[in-house]
């Protein structure tokens, strides 16, 4: 690992042999494949949560999950924004375009088996923290509704009502089980990265993420969560837009995603 330059840690780490720069949703990163990833919070909002999330990752890595979790190698979150970073271990594995029921079930079963204690809960995000947490509906109304036309706002209001009607259910939730955060090996999910959104929330949120492999899979492996998962998935473009706006970014891709659903009047499409 390269020595840190006291002026520009990002450039110093990028000078490491084999290092590449990458840009995530909330972090800039330096990646040395098969070794480590250095994650630099891009905004003050992300940095404010970074120490707690690093400690949460340490705790999650000790849960004995049946797949790999990144380990914190070095933490320099005491530095100012632009220099502050955390270095975590690199998880090898290849992406997968399809998923077996058994592979997905193993992950969801393992998360469901985690016992939430006060120490762990204190380290986790509030559900949908990145999009306003308990005030997510208000944030969507304030920040996203002005960007929609009348029909789109009406459909967004219906989605928010469905979300408001969900029962309160609490379990250990990763919060962002998109394919990009899964590592595969020999047909199994061998690792899961990016635990920033881990929370004590509705397990149907994680089930919804696996709809990337088709809603029939979700219905087969979690029929009891299926309808709640559809409601969580209906919220994805709206919460994504809020998060982007709160970070000072452009929500255009999330708005386009929501408008595609509005065009067919199905949130989310299941075909």
Count CA within 13 A, CB hemisphere, residue 23: 1
| Domain 101-264 CATH assignment equals 4.10.490.10 | no
Tell me how far apart the terminal alpha carbons of the chain are, to the nearest angstrom.
47
Exposed e or buried b per residue across 226-253, where buried means at least 16 C-beta atoms within 10 angstroms of its C-beta: bebbbbbbbbbbbbbbbbbbbbebebee
Comma-separated ranges of CATH 3.90.1200.10 domains in the chain: 101-264
Question: Which stretch of DSSP H or E encloses residue 76?
Answer: strand 72-76
205 vs 27, 62, 80, 166, 187, CA distance in Å? 23, 23, 33, 12, 23
DSSP state of 25: S
Is 81 strand, coil or helix?
coil
Q: In this predicted structure, what is the pLDDT of residue 2?
A: 47
Helix axes 150-164, 136-143, angle to 10 degrees: 180
Comma-separated ranges of CATH 3.30.200.20 domains in the chain: 9-89
Q: In this predicted structure, what is the pLDDT of residue 94?
A: 84
pTM recorded for the entire structure:
0.93
Determine the distance from the C-alpha atom of residue 162 to the mean position of all C-alpha atoms in its chain, rounded to a whole number.
Answer: 22
d(CA 108, CA 102): 10
Q: In this predicted structure, what is the pLDDT of residue 7?
A: 57
d(CA 94, CA 110): 21
pLDDT in tens, the chain (271 residues): 544 445 589 999 999 999 999 998 899 999 999 999 999 999 999 999 999 999 999 999 999 999 999 999 999 999 999 999 999 999 999 889 999 999 999 999 999 999 999 999 999 999 999 999 999 999 999 999 999 999 999 999 999 999 999 999 999 999 999 999 999 999 999 999 999 999 999 999 999 999 999 999 999 999 999 999 999 999 999 999 999 999 999 999 999 999 999 999 999 998 7
Q: In this predicted structure, what is the pLDDT of residue 8?
A: 86
d(CA 54, CA 47): 11
CATH code of the domain occupying 9-89: 3.30.200.20
Cα dihedral sign, 12-13-19-20: negative
Is 19 strand, coil or helix?
strand
Q: In this predicted structure, what is the pLDDT of residue 159?
A: 98
d(CA 148, CA 104): 35
Is 256 strand, coil or helix?
helix
Q: In this predicted structure, what is the pLDDT of residue 17?
A: 95
Contact of 77 with 85, CB cutoff 8 Å? yes
Q: Which residue shows structure tokens 């259910």?
A: 169
């Amino acid at each position: 690992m390269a020595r840190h330059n006291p002026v520009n840690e990002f450039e110093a780490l990028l000078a490491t042999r084999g290092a590449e720069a990458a840009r995530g949703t909330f972090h800039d990163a330096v990646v040395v494949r098969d070794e480590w990833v250095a994650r630099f919070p891009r905004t003050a909002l992300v940095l404010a949560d970074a120490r707690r999330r690093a400690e949460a990752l340490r705790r999650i890595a000790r849960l004995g999950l049946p797949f790999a979790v990144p380990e914190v190698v070095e933490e320099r979150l005491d530095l100012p924004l632009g220099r502050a970073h955390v270095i975590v271990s690199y998880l090898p594995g290849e992406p997968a375009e399809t998923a077996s029921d058994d592979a997905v079930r193993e992950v969801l079963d393992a998360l469901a088996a985690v016992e939430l204690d006060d120490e762990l809960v204190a380290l986790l995000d509030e559900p949908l923290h990145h999009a306003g947490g308990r005030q997510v509906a208000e944030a969507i109304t304030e920040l996203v509704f002005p960007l929609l036309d009348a029909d789109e706002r009406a459909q967004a209001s219906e989605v928010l009502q469905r979300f408001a009607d969900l029962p309160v259910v609490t379990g250990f939730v990763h919060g962002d089980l998109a394919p990009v955060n899964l590592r595969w090996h020999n047909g199994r999910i061998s690792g899961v990265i990016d635990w920033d959104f881990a929370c004590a929330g509705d397990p149907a949120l994680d089930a919804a993420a696996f709809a990337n492999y088709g809603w029939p899979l979700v219905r087969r492996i979690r029929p009891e969560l299926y309808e709640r998962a559809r409601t969580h998935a209906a919220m994805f473009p709206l919460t994504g837009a809020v998060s982007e706006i709160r970070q000072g970014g452009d929500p255009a891709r999330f708005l386009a995603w929501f408008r595609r659903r509005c065009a067919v009047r199905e949130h989310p499409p299941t075909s």
